[in-house]
């Protein structure tokens, strides 16, 4: 997967603090006055990371000062899961939402995994329980369950295999089944159903951020901004995906912009995506709208710092749940 050109950010985050070099990574999207508030935290976090032998994994929706200046690894849910499995750090800080931190813990049961704010949830994860999955299995005996990673460990534990937005079709087809139960995102399920002959039984979960976009709104943007390229996340409603020029996971959206360099682009997703790419790219005009994910935005430099200092809050998963949930995540990693 193509990484956004922030490898220098990742390197500098591990070495001694250089305020000018760090600010250079975000100066295209951040006034100096704002940087002056962030700089002391960036310096302190970098020192704490060395002290604790810690890594920070940041999702693509984190704000630029986190994404570019303190993260060691950044990416979509799939990349974070893969890279979490590989790290030799003692402590993992997940700058993202709770299900991502749980995935990191499942893959690193003996490491300390921190989530700087335990309230960083996800409307998709909230939309389904383990009992709901058991009910679905009773209604559709013998049909395998594919579960989007945006779910709790308890729900993963009731599943055959996990998937992300970046590998959903491949995972569904890997099961060699005529029919699968695909939970919990109804729109991602509809998008997958369009790409495969496998019959998809879906659930009624939605992402509260992506469901707010509409195809009508995008048509208006096309009228107002000639030459606009629209790229969307598959958690968006079907009319939005219909109106888009490209659909993909956050990493695939990022790769599209970095490789194709559309002169004008609208990224139909969370706001920080455009900011993080714009920080390193000057030949692309980013047209908003965007919607904020209130859960992702609970993570700040301040609570990353506090979490590294106190080694809390830690992510803990019941052993019996973890054994089964880990299997579902590992099966996914073995497929794609």
Chain residues that interact with ligand 13P, rule: CB under 6 A: 60, 76-78, 150, 164-166, 207, 233, 235, 249-250
Residue 74 Cβ, how far from ligand 13P at the closest point, in Å?
A: 10
Residues 6 or more apart whose Cβ sits within 8 Å of residue 79:
1, 73, 251
Residue 270 Cβ, how far from ligand SF4 at the closest point, in Å?
A: 5
Q: Which is nearer to ligand SF4, 295 or 331 (CB)?
A: 295
* Helix residue ranges per DSSP H, the chain: 7-14, 19-26, 32-52, 64-67, 77-86, 98-107, 123-126, 130-139, 153-157, 168-174, 186-195, 215-224, 238-243, 250-260, 271-278, 301-310, 319-335
Q: Does residue 208 touch ligand SF4 according to CB under 6 A?
A: yes
Q: Which of 106, 235, 254, 321 binds ligand SF4 (CB under 6 A)?
A: 235
Residue 97 Cβ, how far from ligand 13P at the closest point, in Å?
A: 7
Residue 297 Cβ, how far from ligand SF4 at the closest point, in Å?
A: 9
Residue 299 Cβ, how far from ligand 13P at the closest point, in Å?
A: 13
| Token pair in block for residue 315 | 């992510």
**Cα dihedral value 288, 59, 293, 187, nearest 10:** 90
Residue 140 Cβ, how far from ligand 13P at the closest point, in Å?
A: 26
Q: Which is nearer to ligand 13P, 271 or 317 (CB)?
A: 271
Residue 249 binding partner per list ligand SF4, ligand 13P, none, with a CB distance cut-off of 5 to 8 Å that depends on partner kind: ligand 13P
Q: Does residue 65 touch ligand SF4 according to CB under 6 A?
A: no
User: In the sheet where 199-202 sits, what is the strand order?
Assistant: 161-163, 145-148, 179-183, 199-202
Q: Which of 44, 73, 97, 114 binds ligand SF4 (CB under 6 A)?
A: 97
Q: Does residue 175 touch ligand SF4 according to CB under 6 A?
A: no
Q: In a 3-state reduction of DSSP, which class is residue 146?
A: strand
Cα 44–50–52 angle (5° rounding)?
100
| Token pair in block for residue 91 | 């402590």
Q: Which of 39, 58, 53 is nearest to 100 (CA)?
A: 58
Q: Distance between CA 119 and CA 204 in Å, rounded?
A: 23
Q: Which is nearer to ligand 13P, 62 or 249 (CB)?
A: 249
Residue 164 binding partner per list ligand 13P, ligand SF4, none, with a CB distance cut-off of 5 to 8 Å that depends on partner kind: ligand 13P
Q: Which of 207, 240, 244, 301 binds ligand SF4 (CB under 6 A)?
A: 207
* Helix residue ranges per DSSP H, 53-129: 64-67, 77-86, 98-107, 123-126
Q: Which is nearer to ligand 13P, 43 or 235 (CB)?
A: 235
Residue 102 binding partner per list ligand 13P, ligand SF4, none, with a CB distance cut-off of 5 to 8 Å that depends on partner kind: none
Residue 269 Cβ, how far from ligand SF4 at the closest point, in Å?
A: 8
Site size with ligand SF4, rule: CB under 6 A: 13
| Token pair in block for residue 286 | 């980013």
Q: Which is nearer to ligand SF4, 73 or 207 (CB)?
A: 207
Q: Distance between CA 260 and CA 63 in Å, rounded?
A: 24
Q: What is the largest CA-CA distance in the chain?
A: 60
Q: Which is nearer to ligand 13P, 76 or 117 (CB)?
A: 76
Which residues in the 259-318 window bind ligand SF4 by CB under 6 A? 270, 293, 295-296
> Which residues of the shown chain bind ligand SF4 in the complex (CB under 6 A)?
97, 122-124, 150, 207-209, 235, 270, 293, 295-296
């Amino acid at each position: 997967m193509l990484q956004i050109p922030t490898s220098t950010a990742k390197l500098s985050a591990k070495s001694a603090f250089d305020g000018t070099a760090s600010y250079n990574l975000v100066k295209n999207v951040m006034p100096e006055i704002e940087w002056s508030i962030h700089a002391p935290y960036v310096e302190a976090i970098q020192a704490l990371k060395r002290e604790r032998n810690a890594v920070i994994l940041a999702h693509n929706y984190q704000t630029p000062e986190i994404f570019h200046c303190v993260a060691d690894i950044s990416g979509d849910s799939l990349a974070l899961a893969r890279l979490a499995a590989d790290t030799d750090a003692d402590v993992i800080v997940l700058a993202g939402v709770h299900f991502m931190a749980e995935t990191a813990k499942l893959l690193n049961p003996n490491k300390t995994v921190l989530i700087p704010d335990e309230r960083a949830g996800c409307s998709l994860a909230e939309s389904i329980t383990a009992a709901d999955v058991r009910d679905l299995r009773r209604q559709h005996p013998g049909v395998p369950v594919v579960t989007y990673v945006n779910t709790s460990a308890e729900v993963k534990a009731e599943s055959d295999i996990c998937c992300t937005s970046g590998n959903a079709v491949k995972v569904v087809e890997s099961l060699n089944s005529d029919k699968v139960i695909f939970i919990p995102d109804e729109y991602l399920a509809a998008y997958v159903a369009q790409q495969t002959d496998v019959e998809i039984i879906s659930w009624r979960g939605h992402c509260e951020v992506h469901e707010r976009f509409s195809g009508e709104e995008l048509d208006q943007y096309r009228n107002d901004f000639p030459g606009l390229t629209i790229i969307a996340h598959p958690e968006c409603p079907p009319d939005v995906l219909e109106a888009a020029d490209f659909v993909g996971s956050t990493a695939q959206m990022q790769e599209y912009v970095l490789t194709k360099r559309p002169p004008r682009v609208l990224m139909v997703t969370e706001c920080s995506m455009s900011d993080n790419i714009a920080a390193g790219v000057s030949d692309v005009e980013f047209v908003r709208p965007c919607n904020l994910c209130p859960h992702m935005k609970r993570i700040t430099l301040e609570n990353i710092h506090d979490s590294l200092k106190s080694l809390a809050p830690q992510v803990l998963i019941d052993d019996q749940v973890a054994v089964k949930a880990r299997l579902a995540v590992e099966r996914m990693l073995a497929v794609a």
